[in-house]
Structure 1
Amino acid sequence: MGSAPKYRRGGGRAGGRRRVGGGHRAGRWCRATLAALVTGAVVLPLSAAVRPQTPAPAPARLAPLRASTLGEAYAANRANAAEAARMAAADHDRDRAATDRHLASPEYHLLHFDGRGSGRVTEVLGDLARADRIAVLVPGSDTSLDTYGRFHAAAAALHRQLARQAPAGTHTAVVAWLGYETPGTVSATVTTTGRAEQAAPRLRALVADLRTVAGPGPRISLLCHSYGSVVCGRSAAGLAVDDIALVGSPGTGADTAAGLHTRARVWAARGGDDWVEHVPHLSVDLFGTSVGFGTDPVTPAFGARVFTAGDAGHSTYFEPGSTSLTNLARIVLGETKAVTHD
């Protein structure tokens, strides 16, 4: 997303930095940077359109999702992934074929699979039908079938952490939701809410499906990373979830947590080594497009419950043994008094 203006450390971590050189100059710099990114949107879609795409079948036709049809859905999506692997191999795309083949193996439980384009996958770790606590991971930029391994690793790390921290008799499940076309980190789309607007109805539909399968009782938490927090921000209003945790967030598109219009508790954290703290937190209209995502979620002005993420970098919030992962598991389990704060 480009480099950021330099800061001097002020009082606290949240909202205590002062910009060098004055607000007007920094504001002009931010707007010039964002304008350049939006201008790039004229070129990037055209260049992307001519790139060849690996062929894949249409998604499997599934019965309405219920606890009793989960096994059927998993089997159908594994079969679809296997067919996608065969088609990718015939097209000489060995990397995509290997990914699809891996997802077709019996240990993967897929609520949804679509191997076309950048790919869509919704994976379940744990027993969804019996779960008392459900975490939904919403990824950020540059997440696709081609990079799915690292997203799965984050979900698996959280699943293991929940198993370690959960009280006896508590059943947990993690849903890794790659249900939208994520923007590229170096692209104009990552500075606007366009992809998030497209993703929001799909995330709402997923939560509705989870409530159908697991019932009204389980706690559902959205864990939203990077641009995924923009998706969660656009989906939050009226959504039947208990907690929304924003990590490595560039903003949500709302000025305050109250502006998300959700009954869920809203949490936010940023690690000490996360470069996103240098992203300009503003929202401006350029060329008829709203650019930027507004208030920094870890500042007092936003009003979220800010929790400790240690020295996490932008891609390490789910690192096994990390402070951030421990606190995220506490949020999912509803152990809110145990969450540590900065």
Structure 2
Amino acid sequence: MESSWPGRLSLSEEKEQAMDRRTVLQGGLCGCVAAMLSHSTWAAAADSYPARSVHVILPFPPGGAIDRMARVASQMLSTQLHQSYIVESMPGAGGTIGTSFVVRAPADGYTLLAASASAITIAPYMHKVLPYDPVTDLQPIVMLGDSPIAVVVRQESPIKTLQQLIDMAKAEPGKLSFGSAGYGTAAHLGGVLFEWRAEVSLLHVPYQGVSPALVDLLGGRVDMMFVNYTVVDPQVRAGKLRVLAIAADARMTGQPQFPTAEELGIHGYIAGNWNGLMAPAKTPRAIVDKINKVVVQGFKDPKLLARMSDMGMIPVTGTPDDFAARIRKEAAQMKELVAKAGIKPM
């Protein structure tokens, strides 16, 4: 019999509410179980990771600073995790082709990106259409180091000092040329920033990677490069290239003989290129942390630190969150530089 008391639910209404409560409780329980299963799945994946070879995609030709650091990190990971970490070059379009490949790869930790500022913090402001969003499509793992930009000319060049370079560039605007690893790379933006700070006009000659640009610099087909010091360290030591200045706020510890552009009167000319490891977005954090831990520990080796310092690299590691914060900060700075320099995205 249905109740006729004022304000009291009927029997059928009470049954409906009880069923609704059971549905809510069951839904909440299922959600909790799903979350627990997901967490346990990720944890299990990290425990068994890596179960096969891992591919580290280098989005530039071999030979650059990022190539060197990717191989150092890959060797650490191979030794400590007992699987091969294989560096594979996939160059083109300022690093965006290889980066896009990693973005589309399964988020399981078996395809990593040897990342640099060129494809992550510079590319979004240099291309009208970019096939990925570096913030939402990639997961930072660990930074590997910083390398300041060096202003270099071949040993036989008539340009002996930074001031001579500036004087010649002002006398004939647009005549002196500089090679880069491609449009929108750190080497390109290093030249753009120099033009802005030194108030000169240069001719930009983009290449598909730093190695072919370096070949033409040594061959006299371009006049200079604004390039990570680590890339040209062997040629500088061999007496084939001359460093006019370093784009840093202080002289390099391992190479203190090279003056900074600031010392030579070019104020605000500070530029470099960081290197790091990244993975596709949604890669389980447990796997990201496992890779991070191995690399951070490996970079405590005094012999490695001395070798990096000697070749002009500043070791920088930290947590994945530290890396993400660095990317956000530099992206904002790059946006300002591109706007002030009047660069139009291609």
TM-score by length of 2: 0.27
Larger Rg: 2
Higher helix share: 2
- Higher relative contact order (Cα pairs below 8 Å, separated by 6+ residues): 2
